[in-house]
Amino acid sequence: MAYVRKNVSSLTAGERRRFVNALLALKRRGEYDEFVRMHIDFYTADGEDGLRTAHMAPSFLPWHRRFLLELERALRRVDSSVTVPYWDWTRDRTTTSVPWTKDLLGGNGRHSDRQVMTGPFAYAAGHWTIKEGVTDGRFLTRDLGRSAAPLKLPTRSELQWALDDPVYDASPWDSTVRKGFRNKLEGWGAGSGSASWKNHNRVHRWVGGAMLGGASVNDPVFWLHHAFLDLQWSRWQRAHRSHRYLPARPPGAADAQHRRVVARYEKLPPWDETPDQLEDMSRVYRYV
Ligand SMILES: [Cu+2]
């Protein structure tokens, strides 16, 4: 029986508490920091050598799908009633709406050093010390809405612009491609600065603090954000039934993207599964 992933705004008080407690249990056991480390280690950008799996690549969606499943399995070993909720940032758009409440993820960072002071993940609460990071900071930081240069969350129509593209991804399969659902959703746009950040990228920027960069998993909102993106992938599949993950075959030896991206039937490191095997999750979970 498939289990259900819910909109975070519809969780009951008890469901909120159990989700938070399961995260804190993984943190206490050191398992949570392994997820942070893994996301840092798999951040290979266009400009670097080697296979790109998690970002700036077609496998952005299956990689994060598998990563979320792994976290969810760990949470469900702690408490089998828990699933990863999603944050619909086209609806819950303010710095005080869900998930930024005291009984969920806590609120914004304070002005002076952006330290999160409320909720279960505040450093002062004693259960959430950052250990794996790209900086030495030990406390969780946020700058919701980017106070110095305000930014808005992506809108429903911006998300729809991505969903309306029937092609999953296109050559050169990186951050520069302007067509295809994957990069329109991942959000590497043309130009520089705030106008160039779309959908997924723009949300990371809007949250700010720990959510900027490879160690973004340190903020539990990472999972809620990526669950919502994962839901968009299934919506896109339903809207374009004859379309699938691309590339279907690996780019050839003459292609600049040779051995840089994962094709449909290739294994997606560090797992043994292929994008093909990760396209249909309907027997594992569904979204409500
Ligand atoms: Cu992300």
222-274 pLDDT, tens digit per residue, is: 999 999 999 999 999 999 999 999 999 999 999 999 999 999 999 999 999 99
Centroid of ligand 1 to alpha carbon of 198 (angstroms):
12
Centroid of ligand 1 to alpha carbon of 224 (angstroms):
10
Task: Look at residue 1 in the predicted model and tell me its pLDDT.
Answer: 85
190 confidence band (pLDDT: 50, 70, 90): confident
CA distance 21 to 259: 41
Centroid of ligand 1 to alpha carbon of 219 (angstroms):
11
Centroid of ligand 1 to alpha carbon of 66 (angstroms):
13
Centroid of ligand 1 to alpha carbon of 254 (angstroms):
31
Bridge partner residues of 188 (DSSP): 197
- Fold classification of 3-287 is di-copper center containing domain from catechol oxidase (1.10.1280)
First-residue to last-residue Cα distance in the chain: 15
DSSP 3-state percent helix, strand, coil across the chain (nearest 5)? 35, 5, 60
Centroid of ligand 1 to alpha carbon of 161 (angstroms):
19
Answer whether residue 138 shows pLDDT above 90: yes
Centroid of ligand 1 to alpha carbon of 258 (angstroms):
25
Bridge partner residues of 287 (DSSP): 5
| Cβ(227)–Cβ(85) below 8 Å | yes
Q: Identify the burial level of 17 via C-beta atoms within 10 angstroms of its C-beta, where 0-12 means exposed, 13-18 middle and 19 or more buried.
A: middle
CA distance 233 to 137: 34
Task: Look at residue 134 in the predicted model and tell me its pLDDT.
Answer: 80
Task: Look at residue 169 in the predicted model and tell me its pLDDT.
Answer: 98
CA distance 84 to 68: 8
Sign of CA dihedral 122, 100, 236, 155: negative
Centroid of ligand 1 to alpha carbon of 202 (angstroms):
10
Centroid of ligand 1 to alpha carbon of 199 (angstroms):
10
Instruction: Give the start-to-end residue ranges of the domains of the chain.
Output: 3-287
Centroid of ligand 1 to alpha carbon of 212 (angstroms):
9
Centroid of ligand 1 to alpha carbon of 86 (angstroms):
13
Query: What single letter denotes the amino acid at residue 195?
Result: A
Q: With CA atoms as reference, report the closest residue to 85 among 10, 1, 163, 186.
A: 10
Pairing mode, if any, of strands 3-5 and 285-287?
Answer: parallel
Mean per-residue pLDDT for 211-229?
A: 97
Q: What six digits make up the tokens of 106?
A: 């806590």
Centroid of ligand 1 to alpha carbon of 120 (angstroms):
22
Q: With CA atoms as reference, report the closest residue to 276 among 66, 35, 83.
A: 66
Centroid of ligand 1 to alpha carbon of 230 (angstroms):
11
- Interval 69-119: pLDDT, tens: 999 999 999 999 999 999 999 999 999 999 999 999 999 999 999 999 999
Centroid of ligand 1 to alpha carbon of 116 (angstroms):
20
Centroid of ligand 1 to alpha carbon of 211 (angstroms):
8
Instruction: Give me the phi and psi of 219, to 5 degrees please.
Output: -95, 115
Question: What is the tally of helices (H) and strands (E) in the chain?
Answer: 8, 2
Centroid of ligand 1 to alpha carbon of 226 (angstroms):
6
Mean per-residue pLDDT for 56-77?
A: 98
Q: With CA atoms as reference, report the closest residue to 39 among 251, 234, 285, 225.
A: 225
State the Cα angle at 264 between 262 and 265, rounded to 5°. Answer: 95
Task: Look at residue 212 in the predicted model and tell me its pLDDT.
Answer: 95
